[in-house]
Amino acid sequence: MKLLIGFLLILSVGLASAENFDIRGTHQQSVQLGGANSIYIECYCPNRNVVISNSKKDIQLIIEAKYSSIGYHGKQTIPTSIEPEQMQFQVNRSDKTLKLISLEWAFMHHLFEVERLQAIAPEGIDVNFIDLSYDDLEDRKRKLLESQ
């Protein structure tokens, strides 16, 4: 009897995790400076770096992202790829400042994050990061949609 219960428990855990997914994608985004001399990048982006280029006239983002669902117990549509629009950063302009905002979010068992970001900026442009904590990602998708 214990063997049967153990087998059913293993089978049910396997079935629950069968709906998990973990997909990755890459995207490049080029943003014209439009006279901006300061760039602020708001993101969680655990791995990021800035490269200064004397040949660039705009800022280029090379984005490596992950979209996953771990431990979800219901039926769900499993995507086959990450849409480029999901990886694209929002662009806000004001005076001489350009703000690039990631669309990273988390909700219950689901997560969309920019795992690695490389920002290539022209020489003389100040690039700063506004750090989001992992906790900031919770329910952020709804907040981003409401702000548009």
Does this model's pTM top 0.95? My answer is no
- Supply the pLDDT for residue 74: 75
pLDDT greater at residue 109 or residue 15: 109
- Contacts of residue 31, Cβ cutoff 8 Å, sequence gap at least 6: 58, 59, 60, 61, 89, 91, 98, 100
- Supply the pLDDT for residue 73: 73
